[in-house]
Amino acid sequence: MTTTQTKTEFLTEALVEQVNDRFKVDAIESGNVHSYLLKYEVAKKYIKVWRYDVYNGLIREGRSMFMFIDKETGACYKPASYKAPAKGIRFFIESLVESPEVVDPYGSFLYRR
Mean pLDDT of the chain: 92
Q: What is the pLDDT of residue 84?
A: 94
Q: For residue 4, which amino acid is it?
A: T
Q: What is the pLDDT of residue 3?
A: 66
| pLDDT tens per residue, range 32-53 | 889 999 999 999 999 999 999 9
Q: How confident is the model at residue 71 (pLDDT cuts 50, 70, 90)?
A: very high
Reply yes or no on whether the pLDDT at 1 is more than 60: no
Q: What is the pLDDT of residue 4?
A: 77
User: Where in the chain are the domains?
Assistant: 7-102
HEC secondary structure over the chain: CCCCCCHHHHHHHHHHHHHHHHHHHHHHHHCCCEEEEEEEEECCCEEEEEEEEEECCEECCCCEEEEEEECCCCEEECECCCCCECCCCCEEHHHHHHCHHHCCCCCHHHCCC
Q: For residue 11, which amino acid is it?
A: L
Q: What is the pLDDT of residue 57?
A: 84
Question: What's the average model confidence in pLDDT over 83-98?
Answer: 94
